[in-house]
Amino acid sequence: NAGVMQNPRHLVRRRGQEARLRCSPMKGHSHVYWYRQLPEEGLKFMVYLQKENIIDESGMPKERFSAEFPKEGPSILRIQQVVRGDSAAYFCASSPSGAGNTEAFFGQGTRLTVV
Amino acid sequence: GQSLEQPSEVTAVEGAIVQINCTYQTSGFYGLSWYQQHDGGAPTFLSYNGLDGLEETGRFSSFLSRSDSYGYLLLQELQMKDSASYFCAPFLTDSWGKLQFGAGTQVVVTP
């Protein structure tokens, strides 16, 4: 049973380009969470999605960032017109359910570097 | 407002015991989770306290006191592989499963 799969593991983008990060949850999991981690800091919640629905995007910047979790395929976190401040590790976590579930399974993360 | 405090770093020798304290101030508190992260890799779940008291899982134990808004993670018989960052993460009633992480505690185990 494969764990949470994120790709790419490392992504380099020039300022102004788009970054697209993918997350395939564990088999049987229908809830996906995206977190961002800056160096020497904890993970900050960005967005929570279920299949075809955004449940909570309170931690996601209003501009340039978007997320989706289509009926088929992985969840995608999209960052348009990247800036240096977007450089961070982006982690995806999945769980079989939302409320009441107390354990999240994390992927290895995508390290985004904006040059 | 919401706040979460942990020590930034703890150093100990192999075989020792380390306690990582976590104090929190948050509304809608449901329980407290602990995660371990090695070198910026995938955070892994260690334990969850939904009730007051001590939860033991092998060499690691976690404690919660709701009345004191306080918890701790106890690492016993420290091994070199325990060198990592440890995060306490409150679980909130209205959070739909999302976690609120603190800045974490870097545990350094020395020979």
Task: Give residue-wise pLDDT tens across range A6-31.
Answer: 999 999 999 999 999 999 999 988 89
Nearest-by-Cβ selection for B96 from A42, A99, A107: A99
> Are A4 and A24 spatial neighbours (Cβ–Cβ below 8 Å)?
yes
Structure tokens at B110: 């020395």
Q: Is B81 helix (H, G, I), strand (E, B) or coil?
A: helix
Give the C-alpha distances (Å, rounded to integers) separating A80 from A18, A38, A72, A100, A110.
4, 19, 23, 34, 16
- Interface test with chain A among B34, B98, B105, by most A beta carbons within 10 Å: B98
Low-confidence ranges of chain B (pLDDT < 50): none
- Interface test with chain B among A29, A43, A113, by most B beta carbons within 10 Å: A43
Asked if the Cβ–Cβ distance from A109 to B42 is below 8 Å, we say yes
> pLDDT for A46-102, tens place per residue?
999 998 899 999 999 999 999 999 999 999 999 999 999 999 999 999 988 765 567
pLDDT at position A99 is 57
Asked if the Cβ–Cβ distance from B101 to A42 is below 8 Å, we say yes
Q: Beta strand pairing status for B9-13 and B105-110? A: parallel
Which residues from A are below 8 Å from B96, CB to CB? Answer: 48, 55-56, 98-99
Asked if the Cβ–Cβ distance from A102 to B91 is below 8 Å, we say yes
